Amino acid sequence: MTFIEALKNHDVEQMKEIPKGDLHNHITRGGNKKYIEKWSGKTIPNCPKFNSLDEMNDWNQKHIKPLLQGREGYEKRLEASFVQAQMDGVKVLHMSVSLGEELFYNNSVEVLVKNLKRIHHTYAPDIKFVPEIAGCTCMNPDEMDYRLDPFLDQSYFESFDLYGDEYAVPSYTKLYKKLRSKGLILKAHVGEFGSAELVREAVEALELDHVQHGIAASTSNEVMTYLRDNHIQLNICPSSNVLLNRTKDYKSHPIKKLYDNGIKVTINSDDMLIFDQSVSDEYFNLYHAGVFSPEELNDIRKNSLF
Ligand SMILES: [Zn+2]
């Protein structure tokens, strides 16, 4: 069965068989709630709509963190993320490890990488995994540069992402130059809460390849033209945007406008452990809301497989 048939027939099981990409996924939050519930014996409630990242983080602290403590809990998170991707037919998976997660291994990035490799090969051996490092803007550029070195020394990571205060993102120019020279894919979270102008400023300052979210670009024709002409890809997570109140619902999601303006977009999961929507679910959600035709969604799906 093809992707288009699976979509039209609402065939959830067949949809899982179709190759998909997930290029915006935070590894500690990429797992399936049921998988963690089964393992921990505890129930995780459905998340409400959040008004801010702080609200979401508080909810996460209260309902998920207590179930996944220490190194054992951390490794269960990694396992759950690979299991989920494998189960959902994800074939290309960019997943980020945050700077600081080496603390679970007494600060040894080498041991962290060894475990990532083991878990990847045990639970999702045929997935093309692109290991990504993520830094929070709560760490200043100099400290981040210093903390990144042991990660880069591993010659394992292929991509870098930055998250936190979007308005601080353009100040990491020097660091991104270094990462560019190492051949990493360059990404940053911007245009989720910030403006269209900020998206352009960040892309220019950091020479980004991909923008994580970037949906605010839809408010400026000029910025959309800039992104299209410079082939900047937006890795969009519709459920995350709906549940963080960035858009009212799927139907009004700006992904359609961005796509219609010729911007390369992909559809991704972001934090499945919180939002509880797989990549397959995201395709169904946009299709049933009448946002895209099956052919358009298939075109977007193919964007994520490279
Ligand atoms: Zn994200």
Residue 266 has a pLDDT of 98
pTM confidence score: 0.97
C-alpha 254 – ligand 1 centre gap (Å): 17
Catalytic residue (one of 79, 132, 192, 282): 192
Domains of the chain: 3-303 (3.20.20.140)
Q: Is 75 a catalytic residue?
A: no
Closest Cα partner for 56 from 161, 163, 212? Answer: 163
Cα 56 from Cα 18, distance rounded (Å): 31
Closest Cα partner for 90 from 268, 296, 285? Answer: 268
From first to last of its 306 residues, the chain has per-residue pLDDT tens of: 799 999 999 999 999 999 999 999 999 999 999 999 999 999 999 999 999 999 999 999 999 999 999 999 999 999 999 999 999 999 999 999 999 999 999 999 999 999 999 999 999 999 999 999 999 999 999 999 999 999 999 999 999 999 999 999 999 999 999 999 999 999 999 999 999 999 999 999 999 999 999 999 999 999 999 999 999 999 999 999 999 999 999 999 999 999 999 999 999 999 999 999 999 999 999 999 999 999 999 999 999 998
Q: Are 18 and 287 in contact (CB under 8 A)?
A: no
Q: Quote the tokens at residue 188.
A: 């940053």
Residue 194 has a pLDDT of 97
Helices 33-40, 70-87: axis angle to 10 degrees equals 140
Which region holds residue 81: left if phi is over 0, alpha if psi is between -120 and 50, else beta?
A: alpha
C-alpha 17 – ligand 1 centre gap (Å): 25
C-alpha 216 – ligand 1 centre gap (Å): 15
C-alpha 235 – ligand 1 centre gap (Å): 9
Q: Are 67 and 36 in contact (CB under 8 A)?
A: yes
Q: How far is CA 171 from CA 187, 207, 212, 300, in A?
A: 14, 12, 17, 31
